[in-house]
Amino acid sequence: MLLEWWSGTDCTLYTDPESYVKYGKENAIVVLNHNFEIDFLCGWNFCERFGVLGSSKVLAKKELSYVPLVGWMWYFLEIVFCKRKWEEDRKTVVQSLKNLRDYPENFWFLIHCEGTRFTEKKHKISMQIAEAKGLPKLKYHLLPRTKGFAVTVQCLRNVVSAVYDSTLNFRNNEIPTLLGVLNGKKYHADLYVRRIPLEEVPEDEQECAKWLHRLYQEKDIFQEGYYRTGVFPGTPIVSPRRPWTLLNWLFWASLLLYPLFQLLVNMISSGSSLTLAVFALLIIVASVGVRRMIGVTEISKGSTYGNNDNKRKQQ
């Protein structure tokens, strides 16, 4: 709702028409690149356009579960959280994924295989690792972390029909921010989606890892082409907005905000200095809370996961 109805951001989908008709009608693993502050919003927008937002799941960092309201909501929506320490995460992630095998609706499982947002510093370190391991270097992505993806495929095989390889970019070198979206700024996103049948993903963990590395090499080629031509391969499709999202938001906003509006009027009309001071304090606390939630998405204030500095701290 925030992205498409508030800021009016356009998201053009590039895909194969034969694959397009299957979106929203099957379970899928969605592999997203992690370069932008609002890439998660674009992923949710992709889910919403095909009616699976309510049943979409995400592999997210544990810290997000502590974010007021949003994190708590994700917890009850069965979002899979991880500490990004595989020895500790494996059991939790496997159990959460196995729970999805009996999920009663079509679901999409969204995963950022790079593990953290792209920055020049992290990219430099990632490519040093690629060189040490004899892997081809990437220009627009970090090396994918293969264990989480391999376990996801293993746990959801015979339940999920396909992998949706999704590569996102923005026109005219736009640098989108969540703060910009909240301020109503319009961006122009292009999302290239390839449907890859899950049968094409190897079952063996090592072979699956090699497959994922090849996938990211291909994603790099797609990004290179986009920066050169301004378009992705495939047929451009602008999926129609679903008015249900807006109507649902308006209903709940009216239901919840009307009592708050009445409370505000009563507090102001009371003339009590203490009451007004408490109200002002609540507004300040709420503003600080929102700003901190925005900070979670900012690349400049992102996690140190993947940095040498962070590695030294963990040693």
pLDDT of 267-311, one tens digit each? 777 767 777 777 778 778 777 766 666 665 555 555 555 665 444
CATH among 3.40.1130, 1.10.3470, 3.30.429, 3.30.70 for 2-241? 3.40.1130
pLDDT of 313: 40
314 pLDDT above the threshold of 50: no
Average pLDDT, the chain: 84
pTM of the model: 0.83
pLDDT classification of 211: cutoffs 50, 70, 90? very high
Q: Give me 292's structure tokens.
A: 């901190």
Q: Give me 247's structure tokens.
A: 């109507």
pLDDT tens digits, 65-117? 666 566 666 666 667 777 767 777 788 888 888 888 999 999 999 999 998 88
> Which of 218, 290, 296 lies closest to 60 in space, CA to CA?
296
pLDDT of 25: 95
Q: Are 191 and 166 in contact (CB under 8 A)?
A: yes
pLDDT of 299: 55
Tracing tokens 């109200």 back to the chain, one arrives at 279
Report d(CA 4, CA 274) in Å as an integer. 40
Report d(CA 255, CA 261) in Å as an integer. 11
Residue 294 CA neighbour count, 13 Å, CB half? 14
pLDDT of 311: 47
Count CB atoms within 10 A of the CB of residue 244: 10
Q: What percent of the chain has pLDDT over 90?
A: 43
Report d(CA 53, CA 48) in Å as an integer. 5
pLDDT of 71: 65
Orientation angle between helical segments 86-99 and 146-156, nearest 10 degrees:
30
63 pLDDT above the threshold of 80: no
256 pLDDT above the threshold of 80: no
Report d(CA 36, CA 191) in Å as an integer. 13
Report d(CA 86, CA 150) in Å as an integer. 12
pLDDT of 276: 74
Q: Give me 265's structure tokens.
A: 């009027």
Q: What are the boundaries of each domain within the chain?
A: 2-241, 244-314
Count, residues in the chain: 315
Report phi then psi at 195, rounded to 5: -95, 120
200 pLDDT above the threshold of 90: yes
